[in-house]
Amino acid sequence: MGAGKTSVGAALARLRGCAFHDLDALIAEQAGMPVAKIFATAGEPEFRRMESAALHDVLARVGDSGGVVALGGGTLADTQNLRAVRKAGALLVALDAPVEVLFERTQRARGTRPLAMDEAGFRRLYETRKPLYQAADLVVDSGSGGVESVAAQVEHSIAALIGEWREKR
C-alpha cells in the first residue's frame, strides 16, 4: 500500500503505449462499491475471493497483447495468485519504499485503506508481505522521485532485464 502501483502503473502503460488495468478498480467496478466498503460489508476473505477472480479475468484479457496490471498489495499473499501470474508469463515488478513513506502516503487517502488504519498494524503487514515483493522479477524504489520518474526507471529496468534474457538465449 502506498508504493504507487496505480499511478506508476498508469504512467508506465502510457510510456509503453499499452493498456493499463488496476485490479482494485476492477473489483470495485464489479462489486459496485469501493474496496473499503467491500471490506466493511463483506470482509477481507470475500474481498480476497473477488480479487483472485478478477486477477484471473484480467490475466486472460491481457494475454499475449501485453499491458500493465496493478495488483493490490495483498494479491500475492495467495500462492494461487502468484502461480497464475507466473503461468501467464508476466513480468512481476514490485515497487518499494521505506515503510514510513508508505504509511504516510496511505494516510493521505484516509478511510480508503482498510488495512492501514494504525501504524503498528501497517508495519506488521508490510514486514509480512515484504518477502513476497522481494521475490519479484524487478524491485524498484518508489520512495523518492515523481510518478513519471519512477515509471521511467521501471521501463529502463524492464528493457535491461529483457536485454539480459535475450543475451542468455
23-75 tens-digit pLDDT: 999 999 999 999 989 988 999 899 999 999 999 999 998 877 789 999 988 89
What DSSP element (H or E) covers 96? strand 93-96
pLDDT value, residue 17: 94
Under a CB-based contact definition with an 8 Å cutoff, are residues 47 and 27 in contact?
yes
136-145 tens-digit pLDDT: 999 999 998 8
Cell numbers 474496496 correspond to 35
157 lies in which domain range? 5-168
pTM of the full predicted structure? 0.86
CATH number of the domain within which 16 lies: 3.40.50.300
Q: Please tell me the distance from the alpha carbon of residue 55 to that of residue 42, in angstroms, as a whole number.
A: 19
Enumerate the β-bridge partners of residue 20: 68
Least confident of 19-33, 71-85, 139-153, 154-168: 154-168
What is the number of domains present in the chain?
1
Q: What angle do CA 4, 62, 95 make, to 5 degrees?
A: 20
**What mean pLDDT is predicted for residues 150-167?**
88
Q: Please tell me the distance from the alpha carbon of residue 97 to that of residue 142, in angstroms, as a whole number.
A: 5
Q: Please tell me the distance from the alpha carbon of residue 133 to that of residue 93, in angstroms, as a whole number.
A: 8
